[in-house]
Amino acid sequence: MVAPTNSNGVIAILVKSTISAPLLSLALAAKFKPRNNVVTATYTIEWKKNFIMSGFPSHLNLAKLNLRAANRKAAASVSGNTKWIDENDARIIYYLRPRARRIRIKMDAANRTVAVTVPGSASKLKDAKRFVLDKYDWILVQLEAFPPAQPFIAGGNVWLRGEIYTLHSPETRGRPKVDTELKHLIVPAHKDTLEGRTKRFLIRTAREALTHCTHVHASALGKTVDKISVRDTSSRWGSCVSRRTGNHISYSWRLICAPPFVLDYVTAHECAHLIHPDHSKNFWNLCNELVDTVKPAESWLKNHGNKLHAVGARG
């Protein structure tokens, strides 16, 4: 069978994909190269304009689907669930990851759950469950090792700038504020909205502090940071991406819960990556030039970093 090609030797493929409830059509154009008498797809994925006109969401980034030859079958097999809750322990949640190559177990301290990666296709779910059963005793130990949760409830304790604050929610209107003398975090809100408003206040406060420190250190290096993101990451306190289009640094909002010298160190660490995109001796020398708290900050994160993920966690 010979597939239809255009003048550039590009083969047009129509793939059915279940991204939501109905079947949606993806028009893909993939460059093909013969290898060992087998045609394999490589490189580019492009939209066909007529499919965008027909109503398929044009904002979808197809590159993220990674629909290469090796993954097309797995992607096409995803029809329905991509998330399963363990029938014996609701804290264990399985997530389908078509691009993953192996089963992984990851502890989620913020949500007090266990995330299990199911690689490839849903057919690997049984293998993942057997793997979890084999490691279940170890999983229980890790769950018990989580630091006490700090839910956003009136009268509860919350880490803020390395100290314990008591969360207060008066029945009045007004903006959230911090009483540093009494160690009170005051967030006027209804009981049903207290959690969300407290988290938004901490994220906003974190963004202000992280943005300020980032610009200070970047300026000292003669660099600029074009974009600063604040997210709820689980494995990294910060990350730096330097491209021709601009420099982008991302942070965990939970750094606002750590002592100020820790937050300042992490921003210096990420800014140093604008010069040295590695962890070489020159990189660490530059970090020590920017701040004199490298070792104590690293030590604090190693010993207390897990407590930051307990902030806002539901018990």
Domain spans, the chain: 11-76, 83-144, 193-308
SS3 helix, strand, coil % of the chain, rounded to 5? 35, 25, 40
pLDDT given for residue 80 in this prediction: 55
pLDDT given for residue 191 in this prediction: 87
Q: Give me the mean pLDDT over the 35-61 stretch.
A: 37
The answer, yes or no, to whether residue 258 has pLDDT greater than 70, is: yes
pLDDT given for residue 176 in this prediction: 95
Q: Give me the mean pLDDT over the 280-291 stretch.
A: 97
Split at pLDDT 50, 70, 90, the class of 233 is confident
d(CA 244, CA 239): 17
Most confident listed range (8-12, 58-62, 161-165): 161-165
The answer, yes or no, to whether residue 131 has pLDDT greater than 80, is: yes
Comparing 47 with 85, the larger pLDDT belongs to 85
d(CA 30, CA 11): 6
The answer, yes or no, to whether residue 69 has pLDDT greater than 70, is: no
The answer, yes or no, to whether residue 64 has pLDDT greater than 90, is: no
Percent above pLDDT 90 for the chain: 58
d(CA 291, CA 281): 16
Split at pLDDT 50, 70, 90, the class of 8 is very low
- What's the token pair of residue 254? 């939970």
pTM score, two decimals? 0.66
d(CA 22, CA 27): 16
Are the C-beta atoms of residues 253 and 230 closer than 8 Å to each other? Answer: yes
Q: Residue 286 phi/psi, 5° resolution?
A: -70, -40
Residue 235 CB contacts under 8 Å (≥ 6 apart), including other chains: none
pLDDT tens for residues 191-228?
889 999 999 999 999 999 999 999 999 999 999 999 99
How far CA 292 is from CA of 9, 200, 270, 287, 295, in Å, comes to: 59, 31, 15, 8, 8
Q: Quote the mean pLDDT of the chain.
A: 80
Are the C-beta atoms of residues 149 and 159 closer than 8 Å to each other? Answer: no
Tell me which CATH homologous superfamily contains domain 193-308: Metalloproteases ("zincins"), catalytic domain (3.30.2010.10)
